[in-house]
Structure 1
Amino acid sequence: MIEADEKSLEEQKQMIEKIQHRSLTKRKIIQRILLITLGATLMAVGLEIFLVPNKVIDGGITGISIMLSYITGWKLGFFIFLLNIPFFFIGYKQIGKTFALSTLYGIIVLSIVTSLLHPVPAFTQDILLASVFGGIVLGIGVGIVIRYGGSLDGTEILAILFNNKLPFSVGEIIMIFNLFILGSAGFVFTWDRAMYSLIAYFVAFKTIDITVAGFDESKSAWIISDNSKQIGDSIMSRLGRGVTYINGEGAFSGDDKKVIFCVINRLEEAKLKEIVTECDPSAFLAVADIAEVRGGRFKKKDIH
């Protein structure tokens, strides 16, 4: 009887865990849908309220769509949807179902919102302001969508596909492709608009990086010192960050070395350097950027 009760309790526990997992999954799906909607809407605002009315274009498939819309007089949203559809199928095969569906949803939202915003007048007639702020708004929107597993332009997928056949990296292929598109704006519009388009593209590119990586940029630090224990204790007590000791060996000397590894944010880098210098002025210190940190004990402890 007791064994039956224990079995029943275990089944109930498993059922509760399954319900919690489903609930968590649903929350993630809803979160992804809402944020991709927000990102696509922001990109549409950047295009229709800032760039397009001032005849400034973005790179990639969107840039081609803007020029075709101007030449034919058809809606921008129609070309964005039509030209990106082939990349949906490529993305489905090359990258996966979740990415492809997220991309398709984002493109549909972008196409609809650009059509709705088309009659709205430009926020500013100053081309430089339109290029800068349009690039910022567009970059935030694209960055949000990329951060949550989608894409609003098929250029990246095309670059991944060509990467296997050409002696260039994905980044180089995207750059060449976009320079060709942005240069074409000089023939469709004017050459000054092509140069403003380069400004908008650069601003959007940098904004995407910031949005994807986040403002609270993390850094990894590697420290080699004979006073590793003192440095590690100081980092924990003065920065509130955890450290990990790794056993190493000097290639030239053959001596055993204690390597300190820790993760900090960019505001703590100067303080970390100060701690290391105070404990051991001759210590080896290497600091590198990290795109994302998950798990472990990265959360900062309170310092008393």
Structure 2
Amino acid sequence: MPSLGLQTDLMFSRYSGLVEDVGRYVVITTPSNPNYYFGNYLLLKAPPQAGQWSDLELDFARYVGAPPRIKHFAFQWRVSGDEDGADMSGFMQRGYEYMECAVLTAKRTALLEPQKVNADIDVRMLQSEEDWRAWYELELQERDIDQPKEDYVAYLQGVRDMYRSMIAAGRGDWFGAFQQGELVGSVGLFFDERIGRFQNVLTKSSHRSQGICHTLVHAVAKAGFDRADTLVMVADENYHAARIYESLGFQPSERQASLCRRNDGESKSGEDSGVEASKPE
């Protein structure tokens, strides 16, 4: 059975970049946005093994790139049931961030009403340049403080342009939660035939735990079923966001994992990954 998580990841890569199967890996590159970690990575066909970091980093440099243009390493793969407890300590000692994500899916009949509703927000598509400026400022404000601002700005401008281009092409929309005219949450939903994929659920830090995420995701999912039979959400297994989505009827269907770290051209440990993290609630 194909991976819905990875399949919908590649929807964005194919739109804005290049996807090439080279045998051992699928190589994903986005020439227009070198700071986009998961637009420039190796998709592994099997999980990495202990001590394999040297070969992987050499292959990454060969197929994806190296400093000064590509200043990170990033690898992703599907997790099967017998891989629980895989030892990634060797990679983590080299400064890699290891993340396991749940791929959650829902059909129209499974969608549940939110347990926590915020009646004070207006959920609508981003339309004006003012809306998109507010989106940009919110994403920049809520980024991980360990992410270098210069690199993050370049990344953010690149993905903004990609999303807006996809929207103009009829591939999806971006939605905002507005409270008294202020953008306090947002999420994208894009489509590949009859499959919809959510992107970057975010709630402003000063407005969390107010039901904004529940209300926003439910409203967008309900609208999304007009175009899709299945909606897909990918969430960090160790973050509470997955529980929010499950409360709305999304169910875990598979898992995927990733390793990433910054790369300034030197061999270091303890580096930060610089990967964007969604902050739903």
Q: What TM-score, normalized by structure 2, do the two folds share?
A: 0.27
| Structure with the higher fraction of residues in helix conformation | 1
Q: Computing the radius of gyration over CA atoms, which structure comes out larger, 1 or 2?
A: 1
Higher strand proportion = 2
TM (norm. structure 1) is 0.25
